[in-house]
């Protein structure tokens, strides 16, 4: 069988697709796998790193403003949809997929629509509690809509297409224990590890807060920390920390990176995670059973990150701090309070794991194979 994946923009869209691709390749070692992404976006880095081929089309997003400049931008984006759909059809005819699977990002729309028009079975996965614009636009085109939360089902008019699967997580996220992960990272087993990640592209405001958190923590280091500044924010943050703390961050247990490429290992080692509330990240936390302090991004459609975060807060696996109330002081206080209560962390870990869907990847892979078999040859 040949499996076509389309995803892009952020790791939260890309990693679920990679998880399903890994599972399909394990089930069918001789299968063909091809990714379609947007030019010059993160998928062109992460997908080849995972060992898969990717081709690209020209895709731009849509702006919601009615300003003349934004309307002109949207006209260009509409033109790109038309040309990218044409390009996607050529890719599909050449690759001859048995099914096309989308996991988020604007690139999904032209690719899945083209696949549907060519008679290829299609499915789209929506990991967030609130449907995104791309998913809404594809409702009439795709054969299956897969969702991460039970509460999301009613957001779609035709619920007969909707299947609750959870969000796929790559198998590497359950590959080793916390102790093994800390040993592999060269971290002391008896010192708590805090992992801080605010999105694959970084978040300037949160990087500024974390700069102050790290500077204060360096005064009396009580935990190790690995922070992902994002590729667009790393240089600025590194310079600020150099000025505040000097060159001995590593000696104080502080590790600041542009991107955490070994995320499964780092997350496995974590005692506490500080992060946004993108659905892919939350799925990883639940599979691993990692306590978290969540600061939902306020800059997302329909405030979906807060809705995602509240699901885990109600389950007792996470604490939620809104960005409006999150300062270096409030965040560091919350971290120190949780690390001072090992039983609280253990309870949060158990609660987090209880709401996870550990077999989401397997469910979606099996569904993809079954749907692919329905295609008329």
Hey, is 14 helix, strand or coil?
Answer: helix
Write out the two tokens for 265: 């290992």
Q: Is the dihedral of CA 173, 175, 178, 180 positive or negative?
A: negative
For position 27, what pLDDT does the model report? 97
Q: Whole-angstrom Cα distance, residue 296 to residue 322?
A: 6
b/e map 143-152, b = 16+ CB within 10 Å: bbbbbbbeeb
Q: What is the pTM of this model?
A: 0.77
The predicted-structure confidence for 187-201, as pLDDT tens digits, reads as follows 999 999 999 998 755
Question: What whole-number distance in Å separates Cα of residue 247 and Cα of residue 233?
Answer: 18
Q: How far apart are CA 187 and CA 194, in angstroms?
A: 12
Higher pLDDT, 27 or 287: 27
| 172-354 classified as CATH 2.60.15.10 | no
Q: What is the C-alpha separation between 203 and 83, in angstroms, rounded?
A: 32
Residue of 240, 190, 178, 234 whose CA lies nearest to 214: 240
Phi, psi of 200 (to 5 degrees): -65, -25
CATH number of 2-167+358-372: 3.40.50.2000
Q: What is the pLDDT of residue 59?
A: 79
Model confidence at 170, pLDDT cuts 50, 70, 90, reads confident
Average pLDDT on 208-232 reads 92
In the chain, list all ranges with CATH 3.40.50.2000: 2-167+358-372, 172-354
Least confident span in 9-23, 49-63, 316-330:
49-63
In the chain, count H helices and then E strands: 14, 13
For the chain, the straight-line distance linking the first and the last C-alpha, in angstroms and rounded, comes to 12
Question: Which are the contacts of 37, defined by CB distance < 8 A and separation ≥ 6?
Answer: 6, 7, 8, 43, 44, 47, 54, 55, 56, 57, 105, 107
Contact 173, 284 (CB under 8 A): yes
- Give 109-137 pLDDT, tens digit per residue: 999 999 999 999 999 999 887 777 788 88
CA 324 – CA 79 distance, rounded (Å): 38
Residue 227 has pLDDT above 70, yes or no: yes
Residue 150 CA, distance from chain mean position: 19
């Amino acid at each position: 069988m040949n499996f076509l994946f389309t995803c892009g923009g952020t790791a939260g869209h890309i990693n679920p697709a990679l998880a399903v691709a890994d599972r399909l390749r394990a089930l069918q070692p001789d299968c063909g796998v091809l990714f379609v992404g947007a030019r010059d976006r993160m998928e062109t880095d992460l997908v080849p790193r995972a060992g898969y081929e990717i081709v690209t089309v020209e895709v731009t997003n849509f702006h919601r403003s009615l300003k003349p400049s934004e309307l002109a931008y949207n006209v260009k984006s509409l033109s790109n949809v038309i040309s990218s759909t044409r390009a996607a059809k050529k890719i599909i005819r050449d690759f001859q997929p048995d099914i096309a699977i989308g996991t988020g990002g604007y690139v999904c729309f032209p690719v899945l629509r083209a696949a549907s028009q060519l008679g290829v079975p299609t499915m789209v996965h929506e990991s967030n509690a609130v449907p995104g614009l791309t998913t809404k636009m594809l409702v009439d085109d795709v054969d299956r809509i897969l969702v991460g939360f039970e509460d999301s089902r009613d957001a779609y008019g035709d619920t007969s297409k909707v299947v609750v699967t959870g969000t796929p997580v790559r198998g590497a996220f359950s590959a080793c224990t916390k102790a093994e992960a800390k040993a592999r990272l060269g971290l002391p087993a008896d010192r708590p590890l805090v992992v801080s990640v605010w999105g694959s592209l970084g978040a300037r405001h949160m990087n500024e807060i974390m700069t102050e958190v790290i500077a204060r923590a360096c005064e009396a280091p009580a935990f190790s920390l690995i922070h992902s500044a994002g590729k667009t924010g790393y240089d600025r943050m590194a310079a600020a920390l150099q000025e505040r703390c000097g060159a001995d961050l590593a000696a104080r247990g502080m590790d600041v990176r542009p991107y955490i490429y070994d995320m499964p290992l780092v997350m496995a080692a974590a005692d506490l995670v500080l992060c946004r509330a993108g659905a892919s990240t939350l799925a990883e936390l639940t599979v691993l059973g990692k306590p978290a302090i969540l600061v939902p991004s306020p800059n997302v459609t329909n405030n979906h990150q807060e809705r995602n975060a509240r699901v885990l807060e109600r389950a007792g696996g996470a604490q939620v701090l809104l960005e409006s109330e999150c300062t270096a002081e409030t965040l560091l206080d919350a971290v120190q309070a949780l690390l001072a209560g090992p039983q609280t962390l253990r309870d949060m870990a158990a609660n987090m794991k209880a709401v996870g869907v550990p077999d989401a990847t397997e469910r979606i892979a099996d569904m993809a194979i079954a749907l692919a078999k329905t295609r008329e040859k």
